[in-house]
């Protein structure tokens, strides 16, 4: 082939080769669209897409329950139906019991990168769920028990509580009757009196109007709410080094914002008080036992379901 023809050929191929370098990833949220997690991630996604032109783009397909049920998003990531999901481990325990262990972390996401927890999580997530665990963007956030009826000690006997796997072992130990629902079904369950309360983080109860049906919050909170971005492992491995480096930089920038939850959570607690939600508190010794019981029952559940990995996870995630 002569030089002129070779150059013409290279010229013809170049635009196509450049265009092929841009990859678009399908992004789904397992939490509702009008909720605070999607709102938190949207500005980040816009910046991602602005800076990633020609390299990597996120295409927001939508959220649960509209696009698919919350508890099916994990499987969609595993199978590659979705490339990236905004999700929490409690919604994909069907793939592996370890998914729900991240709520038990007592060290920050940044510390988890430093002490090897993040890499260990990825070993499990890669092997068992065909997922790359990209970034935890919610932390510093306790869960609470919210009730329509008053209790005066940590005893849920005779009460029906809405749960996800997050709360199952703890609420069961406290004597509750358990009813699992996705976030989208909590309001109706409260409205119809199907439940007397629910587990949920300190923030976000106004997003779907649950405050209208909530009379009490039990203090103290327990655990550490986890919401993360997870990616289909095949899609992750298909990325070029430049795309991976860009993605890594973007997710670290998202993680670097995690301190905002501290302030936000304090504001949400004030807003709950203003909405007339009363706090139920215990004496100091009872409160301490309550939180210890939460961790004991939580780890017992993970240890039983995943005896090979739970001890190491516990060492890496505990203080
Ligand atoms: O739906 C839930 O109560 C739940 O499991 C969860 C997990 C993390 C953040 C918010 C809710």
* Shared-domain flag, residues 244 and 306: no
Q: How far is the CA of 199 from the centre of ligand 1 (A)?
A: 8
* Shared-domain flag, residues 29 and 8: yes
* Shared-domain flag, residues 126 and 251: yes
User: What does residue 306 show for φ and ψ, rounded to 5 degrees?
Assistant: -140, 65
CA distance 128 to 99: 10
* Shared-domain flag, residues 13 and 63: yes
Which band of pLDDT confidence, cut at 50, 70 and 90, is reported for residue 6? very low
**Inter-residue contact 95 to 128 (CB < 8 Å):** yes
Domain count, the chain: 2
**Inter-residue contact 129 to 95 (CB < 8 Å):** yes
* Shared-domain flag, residues 112 and 167: no
56-63, strands of its sheet edge to edge: 56-63, 23-29, 84-87, 227-232, 131-138
Tell which of 261, 279, 308 closes a domain.
261
* Shared-domain flag, residues 283 and 309: yes
* Shared-domain flag, residues 212 and 302: yes
The two beta strands, 197-201 and 23-29, are unpaired
* Shared-domain flag, residues 55 and 186: no
pLDDT by residue (tens digit) across 86-105? 999 999 999 999 999 999 99
pLDDT at 68 (0 to 100) = 98
Give mean pLDDT, residues 20-38: 95
* Shared-domain flag, residues 7 and 30: yes
Give mean pLDDT, residues 46-66: 98
Q: Which residues are 143's β-sheet partners? A: 201, 222
**Inter-residue contact 94 to 36 (CB < 8 Å):** no
- Ligand 1 atom, smallest distance to 200 CA: 3
Q: Is 104 in the pocket of ligand 1 (CB under 6 A)?
A: no
Q: What percent of the chain has pLDDT over 70?
A: 94
Asked, as a colleague might, if the bond just before 262 is cis with ω within 30 of 0, I would say: no
> Which residues form the domain of 14?
3-141+225-261
**Inter-residue contact 26 to 82 (CB < 8 Å):** yes
Q: Say yes or no to pLDDT of 169 above 80.
A: yes
pLDDT at 20 (0 to 100) = 57
**Inter-residue contact 316 to 116 (CB < 8 Å):** yes
Which band of pLDDT confidence, cut at 50, 70 and 90, is reported for residue 114? very high
pLDDT by residue (tens digit) across 199-211? 999 999 999 999 9
Give mean pLDDT, residues 20-30: 93
Cβ–Cβ contacts within 10 Å for residue 19, how many?
Answer: 9
User: What does residue 32 show for φ and ψ, rounded to 5 degrees?
Assistant: -60, 150
* Shared-domain flag, residues 137 and 148: no
Q: Is 70 in the pocket of ligand 1 (CB under 6 A)?
A: no
- Ligand 1 atom, smallest distance to 164 CA: 5
Q: Which residue has the tokens 């103290």?
A: 220
* Shared-domain flag, residues 22 and 76: yes
Q: Say yes or no to pLDDT of 12 above 60.
A: no
DSSP character string of 247-262: HHHHHHHHHTTTTHHH
Q: How far is the CA of 201 from the centre of ligand 1 (A)?
A: 7
Q: Is 164 in the pocket of ligand 1 (CB under 6 A)?
A: yes
pLDDT at 5 (0 to 100) = 47
pLDDT at 2 (0 to 100) = 45
Cβ–Cβ contacts within 10 Å for residue 190, how many?
Answer: 21
Q: Is 141 in the pocket of ligand 1 (CB under 6 A)?
A: no
* Shared-domain flag, residues 136 and 147: no
pLDDT at 118 (0 to 100) = 98
Q: Is 183 in the pocket of ligand 1 (CB under 6 A)?
A: yes
Q: Domain with 305 in it: what CATH number?
A: 3.40.190.170
Give mean pLDDT, residues 206-229: 98
Tell which of 244, 261, 278 closes a domain.
261
Tell which of 261, 284, 308 closes a domain.
261
């Amino acid at each position: 082939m002569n030089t002129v023809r070779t150059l013409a050929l290279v010229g013809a191929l170049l635009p196509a080769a450049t265009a092929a370098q841009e990859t678009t990833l399908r992004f789904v949220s397992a939490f509702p669209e009008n909720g605070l997690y999607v709102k938190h991630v949207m500005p980040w996604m816009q910046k991602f897409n602005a800076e990633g032109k020609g390299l990597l783009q996120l295409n927001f397909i939508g959220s649960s329950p509209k696009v698919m049920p919350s508890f099916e998003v994990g499987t969609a990531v595993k199978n590659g139906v979705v490339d990236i999901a905004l999700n929490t481990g409690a919604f994909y325990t069907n793939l592996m019991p370890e998914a729900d262990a991240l709520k038990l972390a007592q060290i920050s996401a940044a510390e988890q990168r430093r002490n090897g927890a993040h890499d260990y999580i990825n070993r499990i997530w890669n092997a068992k769920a065909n997922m790359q665990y990209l970034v935890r963007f919610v932390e510093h956030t306790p869960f609470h028990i919210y009730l329509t009826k008053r209790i005066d000690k940590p005893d849920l006997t005779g009460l029906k509580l809405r749960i996800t796997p997050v709360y199952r072992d703890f609420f069961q130990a406290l004597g509750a009757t358990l009813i699992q629902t996705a976030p989208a079904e909590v309001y109706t369950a409260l409205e119809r009196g199907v439940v007397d309360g629910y587990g949920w983080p300190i923030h976000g109860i106004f997003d779907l109007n649950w405050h209208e049906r909530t009379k009490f919050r039990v203090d103290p909170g327990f655990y550490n709410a986890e919401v993360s971005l997870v990616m289909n492992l095949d899609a992750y491995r298909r990325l070029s080094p430049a795309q991976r480096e860009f993605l890594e930089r973007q997710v670290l920038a998202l993680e670097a914002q995690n301190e905002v939850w501290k302030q936000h959570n304090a504001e949400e607690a004030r807003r709950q008080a203003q909405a007339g939600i009363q706090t139920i508190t215990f004496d100091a010794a009872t409160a301490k036992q309550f939180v210890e019981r939460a961790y004991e029952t939580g780890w017992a559940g993970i240890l039983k379901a995943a005896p090979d990995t739970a001890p190491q996870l516990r060492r890496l995630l505990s203080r």
